[in-house]
Amino acid sequence: MNNFVILPIIIPIIAGMVMVIFRKRIIFHRYLSVCSIIAVGIVTLLLILQIDQEGVQTLQLGGWEAPFGVSMVADMFAALLILTTCVVALCCLLYAFRSIGQERENFYFYPLFMFLITGVIGSFMTGDIFNLFVCFEVMLVSSYVLISLGGTGNQLRESIKYILVNIISSFLFLVAIAFLYAMTGTLNFAHLSIRVAEAGQDGLMTVVAILFLIVFSLKAGLFLFFWLPGSYSAPPTAIAAIFAALLTKVGIYAIIRVFTLVFYHEPEVTHLLIGILAGFTMILGAVGAVAYWDIKKIITYNVIVGVGFILAGAASLTAEGLTGSLYYLIHDMVVKALIFLLGGTVIHLTGTSRLKDFSGLIRLYPGLGWMFFIAALSLSGIPPFSGFLGKIFITRGTFEAGFIWLGIIGLLTSLMVLYSIMKIFINGFWGTDTSEENEKRTTKGLLLPLGILTMLTITLGLGAEGIHHYVDLAVEGLINPGNYIEAVFGTRSVH
Amino acid sequence: METLMSILVGILFAIGIYLILTKTLLRIILGTSILGHGVNLLIITMGGLKKGGPPLLGIEDLTYADSLPQALLLTAIVINFATTALLLVLSYRAYKVLGTDDTEQMRGTENE
């Protein structure tokens, strides 16, 4: 029992509610949102140190013992992701201060942002599959409003599609939960793990597992990503960046959690399926990224490639593959936020997202140009930036598990990713400057969050040794579900 | 009773999916709503119907009903209600801005 565990969820939701009350005070909104995100970051940092020393931290809400109450569980895997969430959210907020516009600020942008973060952190931390559904909904409902906030034609069109897809996948989630409850009689992750291990994962259970896979794939954009390119290019930059950095990652987290803790008994069916879907996702995403000549489209298709690659590591179910997945997950959250913010800045400066309409940006904006170059290299996993290590571990993991084809697809698609993103660099930043002199727009205030994220991707690459201890601890927890179960139930034996 | 309920859930699912596959926005939203009711009935059926007395202290009975699916159901209904309301408002706004409620005509990226 550790009351600390609830703080990362409580802080942003209370901040959001206070902001709704003081609706007109935008400056107050800004300060409060930044302060609460930093507070969550500090709490999570302390939590990580505590987990490092004392093992997985849990909280049984209301004092109800584990299988009956709702448990919150903070293991190293979740805590690392929450810390990354805080950094990314902070950068997107700083970017939003300068770019989101007064109208959106007046209509609850900051409270909605806080509720979105609450949902994301809640999903990472919950120890109960129904609570996972609730946290998903908290996150999704905020994202519904954020995506349609502003109400332009394009936004409305895309948000209706986005909402419909997510509502239907939420219903499928409920159906899967209902079946799971009928078969096991419990919803607590740790208890589910015990029950499924005891009863054996028979055919029916595997079907339910695949139903869960479909649900999470819809949210993560694993193969079922048809809704993603449209809806991620509709909202303004800061919102698109936080979506790209966090929302798909929550789906990925759910897949990794469920398929390492509960349904890990039939890897030749479920994990092979994840591997095949990941392969298709990478190929289709890369083809899309190469084919388009529109910045927004190129970077949204890169999100899809990233999802496929992370889950290729998870499909291997080996320590190496999962280590790679975690490294790459952290890297991907940082670098996807960075590339979306950079792309948004370019569109803000040139007024168009079509690559053929502008060139020679690096002459006017050298800082922006070099940051884009670093982000591009990092995105495709070139050393010494942060994507490299994850890429190596995932490739080794897939080879070790016998999914050699998957590793090869991963490597080939990284080349295509490099091409697609270099296409933006070469066409947009190099070449002769086509804009007139008086057209120069300001990047003041926009470069700070970009700089933070760029530094972070460099540090994560060069200083990977520093977080290796924590990543190892997280992966150990994923490989041995026993740690998680023991932390939830203590020394009591539960059947 | 459970069998009858399963058939009902199946019928609701069929109607819901049929409506979702039509072109008019309002029908699609009604479809998600009906699908939602089907899901809710499924949850309550999965917990087992009429198994015993209410699980309260002081009530003596041989078996007790499982109260968890009902708690889940309540949460699911509230969420379903909220998203349907949001979707209705949004589709009305989309109709005003885009000038159509036919999903076929909503396609394309022009008229931004």
The radius of gyration computed from the CA coordinates of chain B, to the nearest angstrom, equals: 19
Label residue A242 by pLDDT band (50, 70, 90): very high
Residue A233 near residue B112 (C-beta atoms within 8 A): no
Tell whether A491 is covered by a domain: no
* CB proximity list for A414: less than 8 A, separation 6 or greater: A309, A380, A381, A391
| Residue A263 structural domain | 3-486
Q: How far is CA B87 from CA A164, A407, B29, B91, in A?
A: 8, 42, 7, 6
Tell whether A171 is covered by a domain: yes
Q: Which residues of A touch B79 (CB under 8 A)?
A: 134, 137, 141, 170
What span, in angstroms and rounded, lies between the C-alpha atoms of A378 and A376?
Answer: 5
Label residue A439 by pLDDT band (50, 70, 90): low
What's the pLDDT at B67? 83
What's chain A's average pLDDT?
91
- Count other C-beta atoms under 10 Å from residue B76's C-beta: 26
- Model-level pTM? 0.94
> Is B32 touching A (CB cutoff 8 A)?
yes
**Residue entry with tokens 């059926």:** B45
> Is B94 touching A (CB cutoff 8 A)?
yes
Q: What is the mean pLDDT of residues A7-31?
A: 94
Closest partner residue to A144 (CB to CB) among B43, B86, B98 is: B86
Q: Which residues of A touch B86 (CB under 8 A)?
A: 141, 144-145, 163
What's the pLDDT at A263? 92
What's the pLDDT at A437? 52
Q: Residue A57 pairs with which residues in a beta bridge?
A: A74
Closest partner residue to B28 (CB to CB) among A134, A157, A164 is: A164
What's the pLDDT at B92? 92
Q: Which residues of A touch B91 (CB under 8 A)?
A: 160
pLDDT greater than 50 at residue A177: yes
Q: What is the mean pLDDT of residues B37-62?
A: 84
Contact B90 A148 (CB under 8 A): yes
Contact B82 A160 (CB under 8 A): no
Q: What is the mean pLDDT of residues A61-84?
A: 90
Label residue B111 by pLDDT band (50, 70, 90): very low
Contact A164 B87 (CB under 8 A): yes
Q: What is the mean pLDDT of residues A66-74?
A: 87
What span, in angstroms and rounded, lies between the C-alpha atoms of A138 and A136?
Answer: 6
* CB proximity list for A183: less than 8 A, separation 6 or greater: A199, A204, A205, A208
∠ CA A25-A31-A34, rounded to 5°: 135
> In this predicted complex, what is the ipTM?
0.94
- Ramachandran bin of A246, using left for φ above 0, alpha for ψ from -120 to 50, beta for the remaining angles: alpha
Q: Which residues of A touch B39 (CB under 8 A)?
A: 171, 174-175, 178
Q: What is the mean pLDDT of residues A25-31?
A: 93
Residue of chain A nearest B105, judged by CA positions: A157
Contact A151 B97 (CB under 8 A): yes
> Is B36 touching A (CB cutoff 8 A)?
yes
What span, in angstroms and rounded, lies between the C-alpha atoms of A209 and A179?
Answer: 10
pLDDT greater than 90 at residue B101: no
Contact B98 A153 (CB under 8 A): yes
Q: Residue A73 pairs with which residues in a beta bridge?
A: A58
Closest partner residue to A156 (CB to CB) among B68, B72, B93 is: B93
Q: What is the mean pLDDT of residues B48-61?
A: 79
Closest partner residue to B43 (CB to CB) among A157, A168, A174 is: A174
Which 101-160 residues of chain A touch chain B by CB within 8 A? 130, 134, 137, 141, 144-145, 148, 151-154, 156-157, 159-160
Residue of chain A nearest B94, judged by CA positions: A156
Closest partner residue to B39 (CB to CB) among A154, A164, A175 is: A175
Residue of chain A nearest B103, judged by CA positions: A157
What's the pLDDT at A43? 95
What span, in angstroms and rounded, lies between the C-alpha atoms of A489 and A60?
Answer: 10
Phi, psi angles (nearest 5°) of residue A200: 85, 145
What's the pLDDT at A434? 66
pLDDT greater than 50 at residue B112: no
Tell whether A151 is covered by a domain: yes
Residue of chain B nearest A161, judged by CA positions: B103
What's the pLDDT at A440? 61
Length of chain B in terms of residues written: 112
What span, in angstroms and rounded, lies between the C-alpha atoms of B49 and A322?
Answer: 42
Work out how many CB contacts closer than 8 A connect A with B: 85
Contact A167 B32 (CB under 8 A): yes
Q: How many domains does chain A have?
A: 1
Contact B90 A137 (CB under 8 A): no
SS3 category, A73 = strand
Nearest CA distance, A49 vs chain B (angstrom):
35
What's chain B's average pLDDT?
87
Percent of chain A past pLDDT 70, that is, above it, reads 98
* CB proximity list for A226: less than 8 A, separation 6 or greater: none
Q: Which residues of A touch B41 (CB under 8 A)?
A: none
Percent of chain B past pLDDT 70, that is, above it, reads 96
Q: Which CATH architecture has domain B2-50+64-106?
A: Orthogonal Bundle (1.10)
Tell whether A447 is covered by a domain: yes
Q: Of A472, A484, A36, A37, which Cα lies nearest the Cα of A246?
A: A37
> Is B76 touching A (CB cutoff 8 A)?
yes
Q: How far is CA B74 from the centre of its chain?
A: 12
Picking from A307-316, A329-338, A364-373, which range would have the lowest pLDDT averaged per residue? A364-373
Residue A417 near residue A379 (C-beta atoms within 8 A): yes
Tell whether A286 is covered by a domain: yes
**Residue entry with tokens 């910045």:** A295
DSSP string of B55-76, one letter each residue: --TT---SSB---HHHHHHHHH
